[in-house]
Amino acid sequence: MKRSLLLTPLLLVLVLMSGCLPTYVGDPEKSSVDDRLLGLWHLNSENEQLWFVHKLDSHQYLIQAYTFEHKDGATTLNDNPLTCSGWLTTVGGDTYLSMRTFDPKQVLEPTSEPSKNRYLVARIKIDANAVTAEGVTEDFVKKYNVTTPAAFEAALKAHAGDKGTFADPNTYERVDPRKPGSVQSLLDLITKKSS
């Protein structure tokens, strides 16, 4: 998971995020896709990111997150994208995005530690041009012994307002792929690597 953690300050979202968690919140089979989350999102920070959010089916998203590094005047693309399935859940009036991360070791080394399912969970706010995501921290999950989706939901209902529940928020801005502006150079790096 260390490789995946390098790709996310969270998530998500989104994400993104504060760490890989052992479980998620909500039921991916009962969730509904909010089309406002679909598209291309840019996080302009020290660990610059592009998030591609696709519709997997009527319940879930397919999410690919790329992280870039700026060093000595050059921009490079870090490793492979973080790939996740994601779904939305409402808890206590807030919207949460849970993401199941996928790692090649799940196929190559099915009994290894990185092959275990890991999740990223973030409280999100979506508007037309931005998504704000606050990742649920690993400390929160440990403090309340969260090991199941039901326990996660109960802990969030009772303690979402507590200090330390969420990492600092990240804001992802919508990018129009037809007019990407300054993001075009990042898209070019992705295209170059995948060709």
Q: What would the two tokens of residue 23 be? A: 């479980």
- Number of residues that this document lists for the chain: 195
Backbone angles phi, psi at 112, to 5 degrees: -80, 160
pLDDT at 5 over 60: no
Buried b (16+ CB within 10 A) or exposed e, 171-190: ebebbeeeebeebeebeeeb
The domain spans of the chain are: 2-194
- The pLDDT assigned to 8 comes to 37
Say what the pLDDT of residue 63 is: 96
pLDDT reading at 10 higher than 50: no
> Region 133-158: what's the mean pLDDT?
95
Q: In sequence order, what are the residues at sequence separation of 6 or more whose Cβ sits closer than 8 angstroms to the Cβ of residue 20?
A: 1, 4, 5, 101, 118, 119, 120, 138
Q: Is the pLDDT of residue 18 over 70?
A: no
CATH class, range 2-194: mainly beta
User: Rounded to 5 degrees, what angle do the CA atoms 123, 100, 88 make?
Assistant: 40
Q: Is the confidence at residue 121, as pLDDT, over 90? A: yes
How far does the chain reach from its first CA to its final CA, in angstroms?
Answer: 26
Give me the chain's average pLDDT, please: 86
**pLDDT value for 70:** 86
E strand or H helix that includes residue 194:
helix 184-194
- What pLDDT is stored for residue 61 in this prediction? 98
Q: Which of 14-23, 102-111, 140-149 has the lowest mean pLDDT?
A: 14-23
User: Comparing 3 with 68, which gets the higher pLDDT?
Assistant: 68
